[in-house]
Structure 1
């Protein structure tokens, strides 16, 4: 007896699709307003797969944060305001139509309501501040500017900032970073 061909699910791709959808939804709507059903529906999968791959909504949020953290950890240390500005401009502009970097910044400031997750967020943000180098307070001011730019670009779609290119952002960011970090 012939067994009909069943569509085989690529587990790694399904997991990545869930992460991509969740990262976007958590960044745009926050943890509390995002449901696992919304994530599964947008990813085109059964909601039970979230439990299978991530154990829970919290586990999925933690995985999204972990991916955002790895993006930060992979970023080379920049020494001068010009280098920092160039890297931030690249991260904040991203390829056309690709808002993953902006979503990563937004995700890092969204509260989950879970103290362990929020501790992880704080740790990631502190690590990013330390990576910027120099005085920690000044580095966190630069980070606050980057987060503010992310909010205005992605969450509020404020023009002309929302459509600014990497080239548009580089020099003004360099001026801001130079003023903040000296």
Structure 2
């Protein structure tokens, strides 16, 4: 006698973990740590809320994993920056991977605080590293590698990202291509090559 019952589906742990991580990155970036619950994230991912504890040891662990994933995404982009494409690269990071009219969730997430000192230290290390890469790109263009000016450029990118998140028009719906020229002007003003 054969059974017509379907065998239970095996859970794909890697896929489930990625679904949770993607949902957490979106939620934490848009709503912030305090306003996001593990139930929100599990519902967004379409999985059982208990799996957050299994894969991430709770909300703080999931926030840290989301933060690290965003850092890795931005670090990869920063690591591949052609000194001649700094304005384009910054504009692309502001707009985000999807190219839609929403702000970059990776940039928004690094601005969110969990109230956890370790997560905040990770964020500060990343921001310092990114500013150093911008200073190095300026040096390769013949300018002085001034870390203060690089941090001001980074602050500009973060400010644009935050204003896009508030839906301020026309900034909120502009494209990476449209952002490139103004960012290039800021970059030129900050990192003018020394005159002979």
Same fold (TM over 0.5): yes
**Matching of residues 3-82 of structure 1 within 5 Å:** 4-75=6-77, 76=79, 78=81, 80=83
Question: 2: CA distance between counterparts of 1:5 and 1:78?
Answer: 50
TM-score relative to the length of structure 2: 0.84
Deviation of the 1:98 alpha carbon: 7.7
In 1, the alpha carbon distance for the partners of 2:18 and 2:28 equals 15
1:64 counterpart SS class: helix
TM, length-normalised to structure 1? 0.90
In 2, distance between residues paired with 1:129 and 1:77? 14
Give unmatched runs, 5+ long, in structure 1: none
2:158 equivalent to 1:147 = yes
Q: What is the CA–CA distance in structure 2 between the aligned matches of 1:96 and 1:9, rounded to whole Å?
A: 32
State how far apart, in whole Å, the 1-side matches of 2:58 and 2:106 are: 20
Distance in 2 between the 1:96 and 1:123 partners?
27
Between 1:67-76 and 1:166-175, the stretch displaced more is 67-76
Q: 1:105 — aligned with what?
A: 107
Give the number of equivalent residue pairs: 179
Partners of 2:176 and 2:115 in 1: CA distance: 34
Q: Does 1:161 align with 2:171?
A: yes
Distance 2:162 2:173 in 1: 13
Higher relative contact order (CA 8 A, sep 6+): 1
Contact preservation (8 Å) 2:87, 2:180: yes
Matching residue of 1:172 = 182
Corresponding residue number in structure 1 for 2:140: none
Alpha-carbon RMSD across the aligned residues, in angstroms, is 1.8
Q: Partners of 2:188 and 2:73 in 1: how far apart?
A: 24
| Corresponding residue of 1:121 | 123
Find the partner of 2:87 among 82, 85, 95.
Answer: 85
CA distance in 1, matches of 2:89, 2:22: 22
Q: CA deviation at 1:42?
A: 1.3
The question of whether the paired residues in 2 share the 8 Å contact of 1:77 and 1:131 is answered with no
Structure 2 runs not aligned, ≥5 long: 136-144
